[in-house]
């Protein structure tokens, strides 16, 4: 679980909606214990239905202005939320994409993506945005902040 990295964020105004998607009793127990220690954490439990359904449960209950998805095995830096929100607000953007690393077992290599190096502020219609994203080699639902209004 990456809850430890989430609750060390430099940006203090966030909520965590943890969706237990059929995991073991131990995982649910740990989530509930964390929720008693920090009111920003809400726990939802469901039979295993997959990540798409779990994410939709979170979206249905989210109250913030921005949404980001963080999976249980992820690690986020302490300034992750602060950087994403600041970038969205500074550019009045609906999406901000963070730096990320990924490890590829087949090649035993660590790849990094640096958003600042390729930094752009662009105004795109939805069709053009989707077209550009389809051309990317590696796209995810995590590692970005999305305006709740956009979703």
Question: What's the pLDDT at 29?
Answer: 92
How far, in Å, CA of 69 to CA of 151, rounded?
13
Instruction: Assign 114 a pLDDT band (cuts: 50, 70, 90).
Output: low
pLDDT greater than 70 at residue 143: yes
13: CATH: 3.90.550.10
How far, in Å, CA of 88 to CA of 83, rounded?
9
How far, in Å, CA of 113 to CA of 34, rounded?
32
Please give the residue range of the domain that contains residue 45.
Answer: 3-147
Q: 60: buried, middle or exposed (CB in 10 Å: 19+, 13-18, 0-12)?
A: exposed
Give residue-wise pLDDT tens across range 47-76. 999 999 999 999 999 999 999 999 888 888
Domain count, the chain: 1
Judged by DSSP in three states, 13 sits in: coil
Residue 15 and residue 64 in contact, taking contact as beta carbons nearer than 8 Å: yes
pTM exceeds cut of 0.85: no
Instruction: Assign 91 a pLDDT band (cuts: 50, 70, 90).
Output: confident
Residue 17 and residue 87 in contact, taking contact as beta carbons nearer than 8 Å: no
CA torsion, ordered 129, 134, 139, 140, to nearest 10 deg: 70
Instruction: Assign 85 a pLDDT band (cuts: 50, 70, 90).
Output: very high
Handedness of CA 67, 103, 7, 118 (dihedral sign): negative
- Give the rounded percent of residues in the chain with a pLDDT score beyond 70: 84
Instruction: Assign 78 a pLDDT band (cuts: 50, 70, 90).
Output: very high
């Amino acid at each position: 679980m990456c809850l430890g990295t989430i609750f060390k964020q430099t940006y203090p105004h966030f909520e965590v909606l943890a969706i237990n998607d059929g995991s073991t009793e131990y995982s649910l127990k740990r989530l509930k214990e964390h929720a008693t220690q920090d009111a920003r954490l809400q726990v939802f439990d469901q039979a295993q239905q997959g990540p798409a359904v779990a994410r939709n449960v979170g979206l249905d209950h989210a109250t913030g202005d921005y949404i980001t998805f963080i999976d249980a095995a992820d690690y986020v830096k302490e300034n992750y939320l602060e950087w994403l929100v600041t970038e969205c607000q500074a550019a009045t953007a609906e999406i901000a994409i963070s730096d990320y690393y990924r490890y590829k077992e087949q090649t035993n290599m660590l790849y990094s993506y640096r958003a600042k190096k390729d930094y752009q502020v662009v105004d795109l219609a939805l069709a053009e945005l989707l077209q550009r994203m389809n051309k990317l080699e590696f796209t995810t639902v995590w590692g970005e902040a999305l305006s709740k209004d956009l979703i």
